[in-house]
Amino acid sequence: MKREVVVIGLGLIGGSIALGIRKEHDVKMIGFDINEDQVRMAVSLGIIDEKAHSLKTAVATADLIVLAVPVAASEKLLTDMLSFTFKEGAIITDVGSTKQTICAKAKELQNKVSFVGGHPMAGSHKSGVSAAKVHLFENAFYVFTPDEVTSPQVMDTLKDWLKGTKATFLEMSPEKHDEITGAISHFPHIIAASLVHHVETEEDRNPTVTRLAAGGFRDITRIASSSPEMWRDILLQNQSSLLRLLDTWDLEMQKVRSLLESSDSEGIFSYFEQAKHFREKLPERKKGAIPAFYDLFVDVPDHPGAISDVTSILAQSDISLTNIRILETREDIMGVLRLSFRSEEDREQAKEQLGLHTFESYTL
């Protein structure tokens, strides 16, 4: 009999985790989602074998249960599970971007089943199972938040289940997790959304502002296209860290204001210089707060056929693209193509091949 895995929430992350598990384990993959379209899509993409008609029944025989729903829904599902029965030795884990509330709630299940909080720290602004990828977490950090009752055997079993994600596992307390992700993930999402609102306000004075909003603005606000439901829940569950970060952010902005008010040329230069140094010291190959995909930017002349020239070169070299996007940043002169690859190796190879055909390309 095959072992059974139940994934609750068949979206970007649930789908990618299911694919990662399937890569290394021959299991019966059962999916559950309140959105029937996502369930149908997950079946047709071969991500799950079948849908769970009743969550309670599916969970009762599962060896592994993965909660991959927005964090408030995870908290609610854990409450529902207080009346469920579980197979002996079963493990529940979640993938939520916050850990304290969920882990505290899961403690109530402690006498029935093992729970280990988890957070694969890579993703995308895209939602839904159609965006799921087996490589999504490759090289990313995957944080676990075991507690004092979690046995080493449970941790080993869970890591074995998830080894197909090719992520780097690490452990920390739920409190530390929320403090750190508050600073490097949750707060930046607030800033991205605020920047978009800021420009929207500016539109009243300057109606062309959105048409001209290009390069830098688009880069820094990509994550403002993420799921509002997911981010509402994250903010509410990491309220105290985020309120503290809003205070320190106010101080940061006051620092910039005073440099500008005093026309402190040297101070303004070193403000940017120090940020550049710190940014460049961040580990490049790891996923996480920094690019979730291996992107390459290619300058393309504005003439018909230029894009197909680029894709043909890649096809001839057997390099697969995971995404291609035209960035309208340099109207009428030169366009920029953003090509996304599955791995660093594919990106390097693409850069080399395009270079041989006089296409200039660069990474950010």
Ligand X SMILES: O=C(O)C(=O)C[C@]1(C(=O)O)C=C[C@@H](O)C=C1
Ligand Y SMILES: NC(=O)c1ccc[n+]([C@@H]2O[C@H](COP(=O)([O-])OP(=O)(O)OC[C@H]3O[C@@H](n4cnc5c(N)ncnc54)[C@H](O)[C@@H]3O)[C@@H](O)[C@H]2O)c1
Partner interacting with residue 12 (select from ligand X, ligand Y, none; CB below 5-8 Å by kind) = ligand Y
Q: And the tokens for 315?
A: 């096809």
For ligand Y, the binding residue among 6, 38, 62, 174 (CB under 6 A) is 38
> Roughly how many angstroms between the first and final C-alpha of the chain, as a whole number?
49
Distance from C-alpha of 363 to C-alpha of 209, rounded to nearest angstrom:
27
Which 70-109 residues touch ligand X, going by CB under 6 A? Answer: 97
Distance CA 332, CA 29 (A): 50
185 binds, options ligand X, ligand Y, none, Cβ within 5 to 8 A by partner type = ligand X
Contact call for residues 42 and 31 (beta carbons, < 8 A): yes
196 to 225, contacts with ligand X by CB under 6 A? 223
Instruction: Out of 40, 104, 128, 306, name the contact with ligand Y by CB under 6 A.
Output: 128
Spacing of C-alpha 62 from chain mean position? 26
16-24, 120-128, 162-170, 268-276 -> range binding ligand X (CB under 6 A):
120-128
Q: Which is nearer to ligand X, 60 or 324 (CB)?
A: 324
Establish if 190 lies at the interface with ligand X (CB under 6 A): no
Task: Fill in the per-residue mask, 222 to 261: x = in contact with ligand Y (CB under 6 A), - = not in contact.
Answer: -----x--x---x---------------------------
- DSSP-assigned letters across all residues of 56-123: HHHHHT-SEEEE-S-HHHHHHHHHHGGG----TT-EEEE--S--HHHHHHHGGGTTTSEEEEEEE---
Q: Which two tokens stand for residue 243?
A: 């309120």
Amino acid found at 222: R
Question: Residue 137 and residue 167: Cα distance in Å, rounded?
Answer: 5
Beta bridge partner(s), residue 243: none
In sequence order, the 6+-apart residues with CB closer than 8 A to the CB of 191 are 249
Min CB(121)–ligand X separation in Å = 5
From the list ligand X, ligand Y, none, which binds 14 (C-beta under 5 to 8 Å, kind-based)? ligand Y
* Minimum distance from residue 48 beta carbon to ligand X (Å): 22
Backbone angles phi, psi at 188, to 5 degrees: -55, -30
Which residue stretch of 90-98, 152-160, 266-274, 341-349 sits at the interface with ligand Y (rule: CB under 6 A)?
A: 90-98
Helix (H, G, I), strand (E, B) or coil at 333: coil
Q: With respect to ligand Y, which residue has the nearer C-beta, 179 or 309?
A: 179
**Choosing among ligand X, ligand Y, none, which partner's interface includes residue 69 (Cβ < 5 to 8 Å by kind)?**
ligand Y
Instruction: Please choose, from the candidates 312, 282, 283, 314, the residue with its C-alpha nearest in 3D space to the C-alpha of residue 296.
Output: 314
Q: Tell me the residue type at 240.
A: S
Q: Among 78, 292, 337, 350, which residue interacts with ligand X (rule: CB under 6 A)?
A: 292
Stretch that binds ligand X, among 160-168, 199-207, 245-253, 286-294 (CB under 6 A): 286-294
What are the two backbone dihedrals, phi and then psi, of residue 301, each rounded to the nearest 5 degrees? -65, 150
CB nearer to ligand Y: pick between 72 and 113: 72
Please tell me whether residue 123 binds ligand X under the rule CB under 6 A.
Answer: yes
Distance, CA of 95 to chain centre = 11
* HSE, side-chain direction, 13 A CA sphere, residue 84: 24
Q: How far is the CB of 288 from ligand X (least distance, A)?
A: 6
* Site stretch for ligand X (CB under 6 A), options 116-124, 170-178, 252-260, 330-338: 116-124
What residue 71 binds from ligand Y, ligand X, none (CB within 5 to 8 A, per partner kind)? ligand Y
* C-beta of residue 309 within 8 angstroms of C-beta of residue 361: no
Question: Which position among 104, 183, 259, 289 is part of the footprint of ligand X (CB under 6 A)?
Answer: 289
Binding residues for ligand Y, rule: CB under 6 A, are: 8-14, 32-35, 38, 68-71, 73, 77, 95-97, 119-120, 123-124, 127-128, 227, 230, 234
Binding residues for ligand X, rule: CB under 6 A, are: 97, 121-125, 185, 223, 226, 288-289, 292
